Amino acid sequence: MALDVAAMRRNFPIFAHQPPPFHYLDNAATGQICAAAAEALTTFETAGRANVKRGVYRLADRATQAFAEARERMAAYLGATRPEEVILTSGTTFGLNLAAHVLEARVGPGDAILVSRLEHHSNIVPWQMLAERRGARIRALGVTEEGRLDLRDLEAAIDRRTRIVAVTHCSNVTGAVTDLAPLVARARAVGALVVVDGAQRVPHGPLEVASLGCDIYALSGHKMFGATGAGALWIRHDLLETLPPFLGGGEMISRVTIEESRYAPPPHRFEAGTPPIGPVLAMGAAADWLAGLDWQAILAHEKRLTARLIAGLEALPGLRLIGPRDLDDRYGVVAFEVAGVHAHDVCQLLDGFGVCTRGGHHCAQPLMDAFGTVATVRASLAPYNDADDIDALLEGLEQVIRILR
């Protein structure tokens, strides 16, 4: 069945608040909050607020139960084998930094950490910092002309000194989806761990993280239509058991004396202090709602819109697309340059037409370098977008090009 976009929009409070024209095409930066998540957030903050994991009165007990249920909902959405594999965080950036700290002892002087030129800075900088602390080296997989990860010659890229391979599941600039299987196979062959940045993959439907073959998977709730401020880090259970804590503090211990502390079992060992309770509940509610949608219809819809967008962009003069033109193994994230015009100027003028796009380096400067540019305009799609949004962008662009040239 075709997607009923009008019905889909009714699940997103933003459309009742933003007067038309409103064409939100900045979903890779943050998706709009869905009604289920907004309700979970406000209900907790206004009618059910208590700290979790420590109170014995009923209000606190209910908050603790809701928190545990959010973990279960995330585990189900991700396809984790058990809820304990899911560490609740404040987002992808926090999760990847956590990973880079708890894996520290596995990296030694002269070892290598492999990232890629397709990564968001949050999947590069924490690894650079780890490499510096341990005297290791950073290596990077390149990108193809299409803006996909270049997976040729993995034997050379991943050798016996490689301890960690950290790659994105979906690029936040080109929309390309990474074929993880060959990377995982090669990493396994040399005993390296695979860390995946799933920030741009999770808004596109439930996944089977346990069968991807990776060891760690990071994501943000706000990109999957939850609130800002929460995320999750999935860690394969047998690895999880072996890892030391990251931050020290309350709730991550089993016993503290002045001399020493014993740590709580995972996942609590990695969740020091009061967590972002409301945003976590919202993320769980979003996951639950997303899990019940017709993804075949949504993905077909997004594919049609992506095709319309790419064809429209290709028909405009002086435009350079950064990313694949084909519609397979990619999501609706499309970046482009307008010759001779800075991306910020394009986005600012598009705003005048009610079109929200993002301009800049998208926290992916190594990718910008690979394409010989400093900034692009990016349009990114969600299930609530329709052909009107695409046409408004294309018509706006036509006028912007006329004004700015």
d(CA 183, CA 160): 14
Q: List the structure tokens of 283.
A: 């993320």
Q: Tell me which of 34, 214, 347, 363 is the catalytic residue.
A: 363
User: Rounded to the nearest 10 degrees, how much is the dihedral formed by the CA atoms of 290, 295, 298, 303?
Assistant: 130
Closest approach of ligand PLP to the CB of residue 402, in Å: 31
d(CA 74, CA 344): 36
Judged by beta carbon, residue 29 or residue 319, the one nearer ligand PLP is 29
Residue in 353, 405, 404 with CA at minimum distance from that of residue 379: 353
The count of other CB atoms within 10 Å of the CB of residue 151 is 19
* 170 counts as catalytic: no
Judged by beta carbon, residue 5 or residue 381, the one nearer ligand PLP is 381
CA–centroid distance for 370 within its chain: 22
**Strand pairing class (216-220; 231-235):** antiparallel
Closest approach of ligand PLP to the CB of residue 29, in Å: 6
Q: Which residues of this protein are in contact with ligand PLP, per CB under 6 A?
A: 28-29, 91-93, 120, 122-123, 168, 172, 197, 199-200, 220
Judge whether 232 and 88 are in contact, CB under 8 Å: yes
Closest approach of ligand PLP to the CB of residue 57, in Å: 34
Closest approach of ligand PLP to the CB of residue 228, in Å: 8
Judged by beta carbon, residue 283 or residue 341, the one nearer ligand PLP is 283
Closest approach of ligand PLP to the CB of residue 330, in Å: 14
Judged by beta carbon, residue 51 or residue 228, the one nearer ligand PLP is 228
Length of the chain: 405
Judge whether 331 and 200 are in contact, CB under 8 Å: yes
Judged by beta carbon, residue 383 or residue 396, the one nearer ligand PLP is 383
- State the catalytic residues: 363
